[in-house]
Amino acid sequence: MRRTTFPKTGWEVGVIGLGCWGIGGQWGPVDEATAVATVRTALDSGMNFLDTADAYGATPGRSEELVGKALKGRRGDAIVATKVGNYARRAGFPLSYASPLHVTLCCDASLGRLKTDYIDLYQCHIGDLADPTVFLEAFEDLRGQGKIRACGISTVRRDVLERFNRDGHCISCQLDYSLVSRKAEAELLPWCLENRIATILRGPLAMGILSGKYGRETKFEDLLRRSWNEGDGRRAYLEKLEAAERLKFLVRPDRSLAVAALQFALSHPGATVVIPGAKSPEQVRQNTAAGEGALTPEEMEKARAETARFDA
């Protein structure tokens, strides 16, 4: 797999990483053995960037626990990124994060679940953060203790990122970007490129829509996509599904729609690493193929024309 570099740290990572949200059970059940095998297959395939969060899992923290189990004996093979700021929010019991001590406590808990004594990249998980002071103070202290190596934020807003990077210590921004979610092209991706902020592109398969697996009759049972079954959620799903149908010209005997979608995301000059989710070793192996090729200029032009409505 091709490698790329995080500008401020020099970390060398595979251009395709592993989003570990799915292995925690929120996207449907995954048994422990399969989850562990998924992470280890990713490492064997050249995906050395693993992204998780303390909020991920059918029970909060489950994804981190599984990543920790998978990394036994292989910690040095991975750049481990996790997030803080949304623990128990979906369960209705969010923390206030009113003090740096809240962040420090969450970090210690993540270290325990991950079974490691350091986190490579610790990210703020509050995308609309108005005042980053609490997180920045905590991250500075945690760096001093050696518990984290670097910090970043997950947000789709340039103003939030600019505030978070006020001292220049932010090394990365995790943001939503895909063929059917292109708003980041206007400001966020160019700003990151100009300011040497690595970008971690989540949602490159649009929560599965660009995988080619779903249709107009599909009904979703998982916690995260049930809203797609009716009302505005269904209308948005069908609009993106229609776009996916128009993009099937990208499919070839040696390239699936999912691989083409990942290669589109990687094609942006501001892209660093793309983190599709996977719930099985086979899905990992399919995603790996995206790191070995690229869309042609003609394919890019047509794909952008077919999804122009999603760039604003």
260 within 8 A of 296, measured Cβ to Cβ: no
SS3 233: helix
Beta strands at 170-176 and 79-84: parallel, antiparallel or unpaired: unpaired
56 counts as catalytic? yes
Alpha-carbon distance 202 to 125, whole Å?
A: 13
Which of the residues 56, 97, 177, 214 is marked catalytic?
A: 56
Alpha-carbon distance 13 to 198, whole Å?
A: 11
Residue 67: both structure tokens together:
């990543």
181 within 8 A of 163, measured Cβ to Cβ: no
Name which of 52, 180, 191 is nearest 125 in CA terms.
Answer: 52
Return left, alpha or beta for 92; rule: phi > 0 is left, psi -120 to 50 is alpha, else beta. Answer: left
The alpha carbon dihedral of 112, 199, 11, 75 has a sign of positive
DSSP alpha helices (H): ranges in the chain? 32-44, 62-70, 100-114, 133-145, 158-164, 188-194, 231-246, 257-266, 281-288, 297-306
- Known catalytic residues? 56
